[in-house]
Structure formats: C-alpha cells, structure tokens
C-alpha cells in the first residue's frame, strides 16, 4: 500500500492511493473530487472506470459534479426552502426555482483539510470541513468528515461523519460517474445492474419528487433481477422520458434485504458491488451530459457514465414517508458506502 501526493495548479493537492494489486484511486482535496479509479479487467488490463476532466482547472466549474463530495444535502430541495422546528429556511435557487446539491458553494467547491493514514492493508485520507451556520442558508455550524480508504481487497470505503450545534439537514454522497468498460470504451447501455428495491420515487417534469412512490413491478425500474441500463434509456415509459430518456430517480432499498447494488460490464468482465448503510440511492445515467467536454480518455457525451448517489431523500422535507435528512443538534451522522471491484469471466 502507498499514498502519493502531488501539487495541482499551485493550490490543490492530488492524493493517489495504490494497493498491492495495482488498483489506484486518485482524488483532490478540492471538493474531495475522485478523478480516477483504475482497476483490472478480465485480461488484467488496468484502466480507469470513472469520468474525469483531462485538465484539472476544469474542475473549478464542475457543473456535472464529476467525482465530487455532495452536501450539505445531495439532490434537489423543492422551491429552495424547507421548514424545521416551525422555522423556514431559504436556500439558493441554483436550478430553476429549486436548490441542487448544496448550492454553488456546496461541499464540491471547498478545499477540504486532508490527513493521510496508512496500515499494512489499507491506505487512506480523512477529509474534514467546517461550515458555519447560515452558509448557503442552512442552519447550524456543522463539522463534517469524509474518509476515503482503499484496501487490498480492491474496496474503496467512503465513511461520512458529521455533527451540528443546531438541528439542521444533512445527507452527503459522492457523485462519481462509473463506466466499467474502462477508459470510456463504450457507453453504459450494456451495464447490467441488480438492486434490491421494490419502490422508486416519481418525478414531475422539473425532476422534483411528487411525493408518490411507484412499485417497480412490470416497469423498467425493476432491478431486483439483473437488467441492462439500456432498457430504461430506450424505454417509452413516462418516468424514463421525464428524466430525459434514462434514469435520474431515487430508489428506496428494501429494508429486510442487504442494501447493495451489483453492476457488471460483460466485455471487460468488470463487476462493481456497492454496499451502503444509506436507505436509498439516486441512479443517474448521465442523460443530459453535454457533448464535447475534454475528459481524461476522450470527449463527453450522454450515457457515458452512471452515478450511484447513496443517500437519504430531500423529498422528506416536503412529503411524509421518505428517508429523512434531518440531523438533530449534537447527534452524530455516520454513514458508509463501500465500492468493491472484481471480475467475472
């Protein structure tokens, strides 16, 4: 195991974790942005399986949130406002009338304090940040930490921690776009996904949750048995069409099942498994990714990656019955998501 540190643009640092199998994970202290995850395929060819910019300077205007830590609240907050304890808080409306991914000054735009660590079997970096009460309109001064740990079992462990001096809202995630074909060899149409979820959240034409949950049975949203992402991308289903032909929906995990996701890309043989303590996941198939951005392995285009944003649901701020994002004063926020990589011939 080893950790490499590189200065970037005279203001950021790039941390690279390397395990004994040659798996490599690189990320910036700016936004905690994961720029590269390199893992072997079935021929033992090691390639990058996430989208990232060719030029680091482009991360300053990272409107696609490539690889970034998202917070305080991942996802869309309806009407850029919420009420807790009979007090209404107004946030930045940075997507139409709504608030997206913590706003323009969210966690994807701050330089985190980094503390590397290493053991015989792991290498990692703990990233910490303090945001003051009132920043972005959010109540409470909150101290958060996100720890990236790479193991010799080809696991990337993301641990999220937080504590606020006032009752507030918090649900963090990582916004990496995965493409298991390696070095962007193909779109994600033929990625096979399995996920234990009986329900997903209905969206309106603004991509805001309506408050309705839809049973996945007999829909392109049923991933309880293996399904290709292309099924939804090419579907005429109203909910796939609302999301600009694809998926951008919150799936609620079945609570009596292990909360996990499995993704396979047959050509490379790569398999990614995701285990999480979060209650659900937003799966986004890069439906609106613009064409022509300079990425590390080529030009961007729609459907070039898939995000698995494990999180609670900001819809809970306006509708009952959704996994909550409220964090009470002095209560500890502790969540974990583990991405593990292997091959299947």
Whether 178 contacts 49, CB under 8 Å: yes
How far is the CA of 182 from the CAs of 23, 37, 44, 49, in angstroms?
13, 10, 12, 5
Distances (CA, A) of 9 to 3, 56, 113: 20, 8, 17
pLDDT per residue, tens digit, the chain (345 aa), is 999 999 999 999 999 999 999 999 999 999 999 999 999 999 999 999 999 999 999 999 999 999 999 999 999 999 999 999 999 999 999 999 999 999 999 999 999 999 999 999 999 999 999 999 999 999 999 999 999 999 999 999 999 999 999 999 999 999 999 999 999 999 999 999 999 999 999 999 999 999 999 999 999 999 999 999 999 999 999 999 999 999 999 999 998 766 799 999 999 999 999 999 999 999 999 999 999 999 999 999 999 999 999 999 999 999 999 999 999 999 999 999 999 999 998
Nearest one of 83, 266, 281 to 199, comparing CA atoms: 281
Helices (H), the chain: 230-233, 238-242
Task: Tell me whether residue 266 is exposed, middle or buried, using C-beta atoms within 10 angstroms of its C-beta: 0 to 12, 13 to 18, 19 or more.
Answer: middle
Give pLDDT, residue 255: 84
Give the residue numbers marked as catalytic.
175, 309
* Total of domains in the chain: 1
**pLDDT value of position 103:** 97
Give me the CATH number covering residue 158: 2.70.98.10
Q: What is the pLDDT of residue 259?
A: 79
* pLDDT value of position 257: 64
Radius of gyration of the chain (CA): 19
Q: Which domain holds residue 56?
A: 2-343
CB 46 within 8 A of CB 288: no
| pLDDT for residue 258 | 66
């Amino acid at each position: 195991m080893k950790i490499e540190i590189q200065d970037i643009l005279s203001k950021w640092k790039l941390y690279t974790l390397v395990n004994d199998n040659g798996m490599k994970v690189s990320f910036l202290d700016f936004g905690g942005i994961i720029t590269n995850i390199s893992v072997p395929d079935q021929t033992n060819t090691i390639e990058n399986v996430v989208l990232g910019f060719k030029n680091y300077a482009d991360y300053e205007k990272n409107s696609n949130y490539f690889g970034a830590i998202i917070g305080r609240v991942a996802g869309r907050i309806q009407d850029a406002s919420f009420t807790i304890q009979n007090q209404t808080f107004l946030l930045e409306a940075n997507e139409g009338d709504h608030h997206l991914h913590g706003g323009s000054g969210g966690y994807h735009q701050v330089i985190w304090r980094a503390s590397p660590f290493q053991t015989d079997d792991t290498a990692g970096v703990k990233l910490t940040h303090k945001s003051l009460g009132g920043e972005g309109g959010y109540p409470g001064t909150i101290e958060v930490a996100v720890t990236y740990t790479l193991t010799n079992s080809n696991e990337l462990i993301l641990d999220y921690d937080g504590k606020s001096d006032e009752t507030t809202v918090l649900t963090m995630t990582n916004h990496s776009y995965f493409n298991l074909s390696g070095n962007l060899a193909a779109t994600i149409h033929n990625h096979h996904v399995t996920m234990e979820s009986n329900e997903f959240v209905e969206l309106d034409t603004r991509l805001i949750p309506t408050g309705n949950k839809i049973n996945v049975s007999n829909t392109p949203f049923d991933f309880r048995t293996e399904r290709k992402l292309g099924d939804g991308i090419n579907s005429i289903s109203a909910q796939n069409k609302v999301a600009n032909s694809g998926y951008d929906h919150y799936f609620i995990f079945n609570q009596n099942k292990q909360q996990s996701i499995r993704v396979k890309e047959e050509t490379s043989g790569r398999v990614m498994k995701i285990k999480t303590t979060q209650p659900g996941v937003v799966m986004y198939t890069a439906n609106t990714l613009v064409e022509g951005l300079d990425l590390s392995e080529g030009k961007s285009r729609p459907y070039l990656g898939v995000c698995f944003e494990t999180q609670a649901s900001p819809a809970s701020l306006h509708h009952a019955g959704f996994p909550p994002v409220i964090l009470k004063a002095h209560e500890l926020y502790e969540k974990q998501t583990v991405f593990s990589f292997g091959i299947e011939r």
